[in-house]
Structure 1
Amino acid sequence: MIRSVVIGTGSALPARRVSNADLAQEVDTTDEWIVERTGIRFRHIAGPDETTGTLATDAAKAALAAAGIAAQDIDLIVLATATPDQTFPATATKVQAALGIDDCVAFDVAAVCSGFLYAVQVADSMLRTGVQRRALVIGAETFSRILDWDDRTTCVLFGDGAGAIVLEARETADDNRDGAARGILATRLHADGRHNDLLYVDGGPSTTGTVGKLRMKGREVFRHAVVNLAAVLGEVLSLAGLTAADVDWVVPHQANARILDATSRKLGLPADKVVVTVDQHANTSAASVPLALDVAVRDGRIRDGHIVVLEAMGGGFTWGAAVVRF
């Protein structure tokens, strides 16, 4: 059967790295307060010349180099973001132009922190039809542009960055338990729009005519995140015909260290199987999963043959997971 195989990963971060101590110079907060509640120690903040599009392009270039293919070999770009460069056109088309690709399918997906998982399923579905062969799937954000820097309960949580993978359609084995069955084995997505008021931006082109600022009720979001993420991980493993014991690594959305701990405990997964970068990057929304994935691939933790589970939850609420054999 045809599966979408990950053949390269890449990431990009803004040049400016901001510690909790740095942030405390501008915001009424402390390093101890942030670390105790979130596990975050650093984040990267985009400068004037750094945008979602430029970060996405740099991450895409790194993923293409890792895959060993040229930009012209890509015929699909799906970019997940809640902070596009412009209302339109899609930031994916700006990445396409920056990479020098003459023609390919290119569009954005908006599902906030779950956006990368949504983009993965969209790209996987398109590749398995045989119409496209190679795809760039990117998660990129400049959340610093929509933060209320007077609200210490939210502005300390987020950072900017981008991550990307290259997917290639290949014929592979049908048995998920066979090591030959590389690629995306299963995906599962959800949304429940009844929870809009728990995590949202208070602006938009058709409502206020402004970009708006991020608003969040953290306690309620935490509660939903632990329940929903544990449930979707169980669902996607069942779809793949696997169990938690088969998993080599979980690459979760990097929102809060306490959510990561609670989710792994609920599933009975050892903490040393969970890739954690929230301390270094903070919450980069749609970029957090591919950023963390690239870190773990490049430092050698994730290797060929490993079963990797990706998962995320974000505003909407939206949430989802994917099982991938590398």
Structure 2
Amino acid sequence: MTTRAVVIGAGHYLPERVVENAEFEASLDTTDEWIRARSGIERRHFAAEGQTTSDLATRAARAALSDARLEPDDIDAIILATSTADLTFPSAATMVQAALGMTRGFAFDVQAVCAGFIFALANANALILSGQAKRVLVIGAETFSRLMDWTDRGTCVLFGDGAGALVIEARDGEGTTADRGILSTDLNSDGRHRDILYVDGGVSTGTTGHLRMEGKEVFRHAVEKLAQTAQTALDKAGLDSGDVDWIVPHQANIRIIAGTAKKMNLPMDNVIVTVQDHGNTSAASIPLALSVGKARGQIKTGDLLVTEAIGGGLAWGAVVLRW
């Protein structure tokens, strides 16, 4: 028998405020048509004043626990992927732990920007395979609206706030590709490219800072690296693109999503797409898409998924799992 990390619950939360593209037309040299054509984004959600990343994460966590029919103290660990934690420390994950009333186990944050949930999921898998945890709550949550330069039309129209969560449980498998659960992971980073996507603030500057991005360079790296990491993860699992039921990509830009699917020789009918409604929610985008895909009835038990993301660092990776 082989231990597998199996998804047994999914949930998400989006702030109440919905911001349509047209709302930017009053303050920026942009239009709804311009934003849609370049990104595929039609609207996004922004957190309310005083609503923090840990607040969003807690709501998504509760939804995932409810879906799994579990209580907080059934969980051994919380891993929260975020680049917009409430405070420098303590971790937002411990704030979620307290808000849930979870009195056991451990909690920590993972920071790999838009690739954060992939890195968190790989860490959850490792905890389960090593026997350190039986059940892990894996969350991606962001309030990227707090990092925007509202005069930069090339970035501020692209991002939104939200949270998604999965409950992962150790279960026995046969050690074949037919097993449910995480079948392979692939993680990468290259710090030489940090200047094409970063925030110009932090402890060293004494400011929160704003997001800065060289869009053309990010696009070029994204399509190449996302297809590559997805294929590497499939190779590790002993599978190929013809076995894939769904690609669940980081929801950054519809052109990147389509370009990656094309490189993998898969039609867009096999891709979960939510970018039009959420914008780029960084580490939250993949768990949001997974939860929404399940709620829509697209993702079903037994489906083979490839999920991949790239973010600042650069950091990128992929996970192959059977739902």
Compute the TM-score of the two structures, normalised by the length of structure 2. 0.99
Aligned partners of 1:90 and 1:26: how far apart in 2?
35
Other-structure match for 2:295: 298
Other-structure match for 1:69: 70
Secondary structure, counterpart of 2:61 in structure 1: helix
Other-structure match for 2:193: 195
Q: What is the Cα deviation at residue 18 of structure 1?
A: 0.4
Other-structure match for 1:148: 149
Other-structure match for 1:250: 247
Other-structure match for 2:175: 174
Q: What is the Cα deviation at residue 281 of structure 1?
A: 0.2
Compute the TM-score of the two structures, normalised by the length of structure 1. 0.98
Does 2:275 correspond to 1:283?
no
The runs of 4+ residues in structure 1 deviating greater than 6 Å are: none
Aligned partners of 1:245 and 1:46: how far apart in 2?
39
Secondary structure, counterpart of 2:276 in structure 1: helix
Secondary structure, counterpart of 1:154 in structure 2: coil
Q: What is the Cα deviation at residue 103 of structure 1?
A: 2.1
Aligned partners of 1:249 and 1:25: how far apart in 2?
38
Aligned partners of 1:303 and 1:126: how far apart in 2?
25
**Deviation per residue, 1:2-26 (Å, 9 max, x gap):** 1100000000001100000122223
Q: What is the Cα deviation at residue 128 of structure 1?
A: 1.1
Q: What is the Cα deviation at residue 266 of structure 1?
A: 1.0
Q: What is the Cα deviation at residue 27 of structure 1?
A: 2.7
Aligned partners of 2:232 and 2:138: how far apart in 1?
23
- Equivalenced residues, count: 322
Report the AA paired with residue 191 of structure 1.
S
Aligned partners of 2:171 and 2:265: how far apart in 1?
33
Q: What is the Cα deviation at residue 87 of structure 1?
A: 0.3
Other-structure match for 2:237: 240
Other-structure match for 2:219: 222
Report the AA paired with residue 189 of structure 1.
L
Q: What is the Cα deviation at residue 47 of structure 1?
A: 0.7
Aligned partners of 1:203 and 1:262: how far apart in 2?
32
Alignment of 1:50-129 (within 5 A): 50-129=51-130
Aligned partners of 1:320 and 1:182: how far apart in 2?
20
Q: What is the Cα deviation at residue 299 of structure 1?
A: 1.1
Secondary structure, counterpart of 1:155 in structure 2: coil
Report the AA paired with residue 7 of structure 2.
V
Report the AA paired with residue 202 of structure 2.
G
Other-structure match for 1:314: 311
Q: What is the Cα deviation at residue 104 of structure 1?
A: 1.5
Secondary structure, counterpart of 2:154 in structure 1: helix
Other-structure match for 1:18: 19
Aligned partners of 1:125 and 1:211: how far apart in 2?
33
**Deviation per residue, 1:213-237 (Å, 9 max, x gap):** 0000000000000000010011000
Other-structure match for 2:30: 29
Structure 1 unaligned regions, length at least 5: none
